Amino acid sequence: MLQIVLFALLSVGLVIQYEVIFPLESYLLSASAASFLYIPHGIKTIMVVLSGYRALLPIFTAHLLAYVVWSVPTPSIALDAMVSTLVMFSPLIIWNFNRLNPLLAPLPIADDSKLALFRIVIAVAFVSSLFNALFHTLIFADEPIGILSFRFMTGDLLGSLFVLMLLILAKKPVIKLFNGRLN
């Protein structure tokens, strides 16, 4: 059930991204493979932090479906979906390896404060956006690499901050949902 909810949340974020934000950006800015506000990255970051390995399949399938539905121009749809999924788990693996925890376990939030959640999500968003910018600039090599990397990182981080702001406003019900305590 949790994976269905995660898939639905990310799918809603992808619909908003492809149907609202991308068209608005293409109208206001020059066309690019990267967005200045990529909301799905924020959703994926929070999914990975709070649910760990259970977010793997929903992230991959939602991206795969989005790339097919919106005919995303990419050299390989499966490779792009795989990269978009795996970069999210790199900070999780690093964190858990250093703590000798299972590598794909959710990250522990020590207390119930909004500051603890904010710090963990921003750290995961930053590291995963670095990996995302690196790998996606290698895939989309037809644009200047410096500008494309900057747009990927900026979009991922601003998208994460935007979603995190929404989460902090409604934190307790969302965390209960991810932890499976919501009836």
pLDDT (tens digit per residue) in 82-93: 888 899 899 889
Q: How far is CA 175 from CA 6, 12, 46, 49, 172, in A?
A: 12, 18, 10, 11, 5
Length of the chain: 183
What average pLDDT score do residues 102-129 get? 80
pLDDT (tens digit per residue) in 21-49: 888 888 887 766 668 889 999 999 988 98
pTM of the full structure: 0.83
| pLDDT over 70, % of the chain | 84
pLDDT (tens digit per residue) in 61-74: 998 888 888 877 77
Q: Where are the domains of the chain?
A: 2-178
Average pLDDT for the chain: 82
**Which fold is adopted by the domain 2-178?**
Arp2/3 complex 21 kDa subunit ARPC3 (1.10.1760)
